[in-house]
Amino acid sequence: YGFFHPALPEEPLIFVEVALTRELAGDVSALIDPGAPVADPEQATTAVFYSINNALAGLRGISFGNFLLKQVLSELAVEFPRLKQFVTLSPMPRFAAGLARLLNGELADWPRERIEQLLADQCDELQARSGQASAVDAVTALLGRPEVAGHPPREVMARLALLYLVEMRDGHGGRHDPVAAFHLANGAILERINPCADLSDRGLAQSHGVMVNYRYDPERVEANHERFVHEGRVVLSKALQRDYDKHLAGDA
């Protein structure tokens, strides 16, 4: 799906790629694999938006994505009435950089002691994998390994990603992650965090392979947008809200 201009009938201004599936997607390779079996779109229950691109360099910085997503969502709901959920599978392009700052103790709100407390229940596993007594040192050491199998446990990466998405700001007070800022401002729900979802060289370099599902609920989009814009509140799925309340809310 895309937006076109009459002066450029063969080239979209912006386009989005959508996969129709029967479940929430948590692995980008399964969506783009040309050898994967083709499912019957009439049986699909989930629309997964997995790539949104401005096609023209001169239009970068002009946001058509909000309008395109909402229009495509409306059209899909009419064309495929069995669809029950509309989600993205989105990158975290600044997660690796933000996590490095966190682990290096560069964030005043998150000193080393708070991170150690956050990961206290994972310390034995981290120590066994890395040989480091400190959770912070263990995560740092494991992320430095070239092989993905040697990286920190999925639970550790998911928890650190949740901290990053909900708590971390850039130098101007906005969200550190631009993709999160885009979807949350559009009224999406932070639905699920997926470690090991993008094991491409770029995915590992930018986000240690972590990707995110944002869910668009047509009945809640406007209310979620208002909460985020006016209160700075990130609306979480029930599962992520439980994780946040258990591991992060007491320290926030």
**What residues act catalytically?**
90, 183
Q: What is the largest CA-CA distance in the chain?
A: 62
Instruction: Give bridge partners of residue 215 from the DSSP assignment.
Output: 87, 189
The amino acid at residue 132 is Q
3-state SS track over 171-184: CCCCECCHHHHHHH
Instruction: Give bridge partners of residue 85 from the DSSP assignment.
Output: 46
| Torsions phi, psi for 7 (to 5 deg) | -75, -15
Element (H, E) at 213: strand 211-216
- Residue 130 three-state SS: helix
**Which residues have a Cβ under 8 Å from the Cβ of 14 and sit 6 or more positions away?**
2, 3, 52, 53, 54, 55, 59, 64, 65, 68
Compute the distance between CA of residue 166 and CA of residue 236 in angstroms, rounded to an integer: 9
**Which residues have a Cβ under 8 Å from the Cβ of 179 and sit 6 or more positions away?**
90, 91, 92, 93, 212
